[in-house]
Amino acid sequence: MAPLLAFVDIFVESPHMDDVVQALAKLESIRELYEVTGEFDIVTLVEADDIEQFRDVLKNKIMKIRGVKSTVSSIVLKTHKGSRFTEELLHPTSHSATVSQKH
């Protein structure tokens, strides 16, 4: 079964941006992490085994980081075209497994 993927957009208190980014980068469930312009300050792609694990990551890890004001989550229903990581995650092949092991 494919893992649950969710985009988590994060609002951050400006003075804490660098600390928040460093804390998020250490979380194993966060597969992609971007500091962005626009409505949100940070956009992440979170991987979880199921909705309960996703809830735990969001509630007990991301939201507990000092400087995180709030989040907006979007659970991925289907990937039509995505990054190399997302494609390999959702549609593993023997070649992509070998490539992933080399990195």
Domain-by-domain residue ranges, the chain? Answer: 4-78
Q: How confident is the model at residue 100 (pLDDT cuts 50, 70, 90)?
A: very low
Say if CB 74 and CB 6 are below 8 A apart. Answer: yes
Q: pTM of the entire structure?
A: 0.80
Which of 57, 66, 12 shows the shortest CA–CA distance to 30? 57
Does the domain formed by 4-78 have CATH 3.30.230.10?
no
Average pLDDT value for the chain? 87
Per-residue confidence (pLDDT) for residue 20, from 0 to 100: 98
* 73: number of Cβ within 10 Å: 15
